[in-house]
Amino acid sequence: MAGRFLVRRLAQAVVTVVCIAILNFLLLHLAPGDVVDVLAGEAGAADARYVAELRQKFGLDQPIVAQLGRYLWSLAQLDLGHSFRYEMPVAQLILQRLGPTLLLMAASLGIAFAGGLVLGVTASRQARSLADNVISVLALLAYATPLFWLGLMLIVLFTLKLGLLPAGGMYTIGAAETAAAHALDVLRHLILPATTLALFYMATYTRLMRTSMLEVLGSDYVRTAYAKGLSERLVAYRHALRNAILPMVTVLGVQVGSFFGGAVVVEVVFGWPGLGRLAFEAIFQRDLNLLLGILLLSSCLVIVVNLAVDLLYTRLDPRIELD
């Protein structure tokens, strides 16, 4: 049964990817001016014959359906096109920058998940107490704070005023002699951007965890656990938490996409050399191939994470039926 479920979900995922690819293609064609216009404009010569030759070379003179077919075929071979600014295949460019973004996202996700879990459980165990109210107000504030602004304010406080942490980049050039020193250096650079990106999601997780815990704490099996004479802490962490954590996993899948968007602004604020910064550079050089490549790749990652969440969910909660 699990196998059939997986096959069906995979088929759905492939359809979604193809739809997004077609959308990408349409966007590229709706854009005012194509690659040839840009190149011809740069060469300074708008010679009609040269332009026609270029169009032929890039296949832009063919009917649109043929162009779409060619585009999809090259995507199927993992060819995301050519970045005319970097003089490099887009796929290669993206791969180079994927690592730092994944590191940033994993770190923030860890902070957000752990922080949200602890804060949410704490708030639910003392519902309507002072601690609960303070946590709720902080979560509301974090939920309304623009990420880029938070990042700048953290730079003002921790870098400019206190001088504790570096303001940007991923490592200090030429500073690290050993691998351990290098890892520590990257970690120091990671703290501010990861915290910035994490706070918004931590707020979401805190609120979700609190609601979910309150719901579970009211259920019969928890009352049974209390009746057995178990301590409140043990019931909360051992018994209630396991079920209350399930919605967090779902939301994780829903939020990957928004996480990517957040990473763009955070990477720009902190000069973190990942995909977000690459997208930022692509915007101002009007490198549409590169920009659309990033859009497609991030969408694919969203699909993969959602598949993983689905599978994880069936493991975590055996009550879920796959069909």
Partner 1 sequence: MRRGLWQRYRKNRAAVLGLGVFGAVVATAVLGPLLYGGDPWALATRPFLWPGDRADFPLGSDAMGRDVLAGLIHGAAVSLTIGLTATAAAVGIGTAIGALAGYLGGWVDDVLMRFTEVFQTIPNFIFVIVLVTIFKPSIRTTVLAIGIVSWPSIARLVRAQCLSLRRREFVQACVALGMSQSRILWRQILPNCLAPVIVLGSIMVATAILVEAGLAFLGLGDPNVMSWGKMIGDGRGSLRTAWYLSAIPGVAILLTVLSLNLVGEGLNDALNPRLGRH
Q: What is the CA radius of gyration of the chain?
A: 25
Tell me the closest approach of the beta carbon of residue 228 to partner 1, in angstroms: 25
Q: Which is nearer to partner 1, 225 or 282 (CB)?
A: 282
Asked if 209 and 139 touch (Cβ cutoff 8 Å), the reply is no
Tell me the closest approach of the beta carbon of residue 233 to partner 1, in angstroms: 21
Tell me the closest approach of the beta carbon of residue 188 to partner 1, in angstroms: 20
Tell me the closest approach of the beta carbon of residue 173 to partner 1, in angstroms: 21
Q: Measure the CA–CA gap between 233 and 125, rounded to whole angstroms.
A: 9
Q: What residue ranges in the chain does DSSP mark as E strands?
A: 82-83, 88-89
Picking from 144, 143, 166, the residue whose alpha carbon sits closest to that of residue 154 is 166
Placement of tokens 């995979």 in the chain: 10
Picking from 298, 266, 297, the residue whose alpha carbon sits closest to that of residue 280 is 266
Distance of alpha carbon 129 from the chain centroid: 34
Tell me the closest approach of the beta carbon of residue 102 to partner 1, in angstroms: 14
Q: Which is nearer to partner 1, 32 or 229 (CB)?
A: 32
The helix/strand/coil state of 79 is coil
Q: Which is nearer to partner 1, 171 or 270 (CB)?
A: 270
User: How far is residue 304 from each of residues 17, 194, 244, measured CA to CA in Å?
Assistant: 11, 22, 24
Q: Which is nearer to partner 1, 50 or 86 (CB)?
A: 86
Q: Which is nearer to partner 1, 48 or 121 (CB)?
A: 121
User: How far is residue 67 from each of residues 62, 71, 76, 78, measured CA to CA in Å?
Assistant: 6, 6, 14, 17
Q: Which is nearer to partner 1, 111 or 279 (CB)?
A: 279
Tell me the closest approach of the beta carbon of residue 179 to partner 1, in angstroms: 33
Cα dihedral across residues 165, 167, 170, 175: positive or negative: negative
Distance of alpha carbon 254 from the chain centroid: 10
Q: In the complex, which residues of this chain contact partner 1 (CB under 8 A)?
A: 15-16, 19-20, 23, 27, 30-32, 127, 140-141, 143-149, 152-153, 155-156, 160, 210-211, 214-215, 256-262, 264-265, 268, 279-280, 283-284, 286, 288, 291-292, 294-295, 298-299, 302-303, 306
Tell me the closest approach of the beta carbon of residue 155 to partner 1, in angstroms: 7
The DSSP call for residue 323 is: -
Tell me the closest approach of the beta carbon of residue 75 to partner 1, in angstroms: 15
Q: Which is nearer to partner 1, 33 or 187 (CB)?
A: 33
Asked if 146 and 139 touch (Cβ cutoff 8 Å), the reply is no
Q: Measure the CA–CA gap between 291 and 105, rounded to whole angstroms.
A: 20
Q: Which is nearer to partner 1, 27 or 76 (CB)?
A: 27
Distance of alpha carbon 303 from the chain centroid: 11
